[in-house]
A and B are shown apart, each in its own frame.
Chain A
Amino acid sequence: MHIAEGFLPATHCVAWYLASAPFVIHGGRRVIQQSKEQPEARLLLAAAGAFTFVLSSIKLPSISGSSSHPTGTGLGAVLFRPPVMAFLSTIVLLFQALLLAHGGITTLGANVFSMGIVGPFVGYGSWRLARRFGWSDRVGIFLALALADFTTYLMTSFQLALAFPDPVSGLAGAMTKFLGVFAFTQVPLAIAEGILGVLVFRVLLDIAGPELQRLGVVPALPEAVA
């Protein structure tokens, strides 16, 4: 769910660009640092960015009969941490705008804030919290992906409500309206993305365990004693 090109007034576009800039710059610095320390990491990061972009081509069933696509930022945040995802999401959103006409250049700041900052930070926070409480990886992954998706949708609705308060019921009415319009697809989608994440994580543990250990997502197994 992205805000379309030209949808926000100029002042809002500038404000969201300014709000997103520190996170994206910080993420960019982390990426540069990682590239210097581990040159091979840039290829893995690029693969993660491309994966996030292509993930938007995988359709999930929705309760309203239509279908929608996952954002992939929750999984990316768990694997690569939120600051890196803020930078990668900016590139992915720029590609979506210029290659798929999904989102826009003027609304890039707002879309980065919701999908690249709020979603990944909330998703990663949920994952960490679940681990701290000793919940299973499955619960943690479900919460990370579902909440990253859900908060992206909440933030986008807030951004739209702020730009277009209802002439009758003000900001609260506009927020209710935008939440209601997109709830039919976004709420089931958040749950579906959470379930998808659990299934993907299970497959990844089987076939990409060493990579997950190297990324620090799962603890490294103690070496076998001869």
Chain B
Amino acid sequence: MARGLALDHAAWTSPWRTRSVRDKGLLSLGLMGAAITLPPVPGGVGVAAVAMVLLLGPIGVGWARLGRLSWLPGVSILMGAAAVAVSIRWENGVQFLVTADGLTTAGGLAIRASAATLAMFTLACSTPMVDLFAALRRARVPDALIEIASLIYRFTTGLLVTAGAIHEAQAVRLGFATRSATMRSASLGTSALLVRSWDQARRLEAGLIGRGYEDTLRTVEPTRRRSTRFLLASLVTVAVLVAGSAAWPVSR
């Protein structure tokens, strides 16, 4: 069962929340782009180092939270890299072998994916979803689509609590004691969630119509701090990473 939205919690409390989405987005996308286009060493390592400094410094994530956030993508990356490291050959049946090529690719892949994940965290841990929706609206994404996305976000928070409560109630009634009981509990829980989400939507609709809701559900947007210095520093950081990667083979 999902235990809340840890990345979202980090974003709401981040000191960088007041910064403009344009500034943070450019930095984060720049770092992600560098992670997947530059060689893992030194490019990927450089991106990972910069992202770690930002996350533990100004973004204020902290070691413990960063550890909790990283384990799920970490496991995915390790499983995928392990599959790449092992080669397969058909000679008198299936043979598994580890080649130097496979190991190099897997190592580079693990570095690149870790660096890109940390780069993504710099945006996810500093920008709540509602700020992202406001930025997309300003970027002229159709209102109806932003509306659906923000409603999904609103429903999600409520439904996660409901899903947690259903799971807890089923668990205390030994609803997960056996395989068949687990399937029965999962199906009843899923049905209850679907019906509740429809019911919640209907009640919200009735409430909104009563308040004159016609097209968009706009909310007050606090002013976000735009900074040319921040933007320039982001561009310089990415440029240094690119230049460092280009100079690396020469210096060796």
Contact = CB atoms under 8 A, between A and B. Distances in A.
Interface of A: 2-10, 13, 28, 31-32, 35-36, 39-40, 42-51, 53-61, 70, 87-88, 91-92, 95, 97-102, 104-106, 160, 164, 166-169, 173, 176-178, 181, 192, 195-196, 199-200, 203-204, 207-208, 211
Given A51-B197, A199-B184, A199-B187, A4 B155 contact: no
Contacts of A56: 2
Interface string B1-35: 11001011000000000000000000001001101
A92 B155 CA distance: 12
B202 A43 contact: yes
Given A92-B152, A200-B187, A6 B36 contact: yes
Nearest to A4: B76
B182 A60 contact: yes
B99 A167 contact: yes
A6 B34 CA distance: 10
Given A7-B113, A45-B148, A181-B79, 17 more contacts: A5-B120, A6-B114, A7-B77, A7-B109, A31-B148, A46-B155, A46-B201, A47-B197, A49-B149, A49-B152, A99-B5, A100-B2, A101-B69, A101-B121, A105-B29, A169-B89, A199-B183
A10 B37 contact: yes
B201 A208 contact: no
B116 A104 contact: yes
B160 A54 contact: yes
A164 B80 CA distance: 10
Contact of A98 (B73, B82, B87, B129): B129
Given A28-B145, A104-B120, A59 B186 contact: yes
Given A6-B32, A50-B197, A100-B7, A168 B145 contact: no
Q: How large is the interface on B (under 10, 10 to 19, 20 to 34, 35 or more residues)?
A: 35 or more
Contact of A5 (B89, B113, B205, B215): B113
Given A6-B36, A98-B123, A176-B88, A58 B189 contact: yes
Interface on chain B toward A: helix, strand, loop, or mixed SS?
helix
19 contacts: A2-B76, A43-B201, A46-B148, A46-B151, A47-B198, A54-B160, A55-B190, A58-B167, A60-B183, A99-B5, A99-B124, A99-B129, A101-B73, A166-B87, A166-B88, A168-B88, A181-B83, A199-B188, A203-B191
Q: Which of B2, B99, B152, B183 has the most CB of A within 10 A?
A: B152
Given A49-B152, A53-B152, A42 B147 contact: yes
A47 B190 CA distance: 13
B163 A58 contact: yes
A70 B231 CA distance: 41
Nearest to B189: A58
Contacts of A60: 182-183, 186
Contacts of A105: 29, 32, 120, 123
Nearest to A6: B116
Given A10-B37, A91-B149, A173 B123 contact: no
A211 B202 CA distance: 12
Nearest to B114: A6
B179 A54 contact: no
Contacts of A44: 198, 201
Contacts of A102: 72-73, 76
A98 to B, nearest CB: 5
Contacts of A211: 198
B247 interface: no
B152 A95 contact: yes
B191 A42 contact: no
Contacts of A160: 80, 83
A192 B144 contact: no
A101 B72 contact: yes
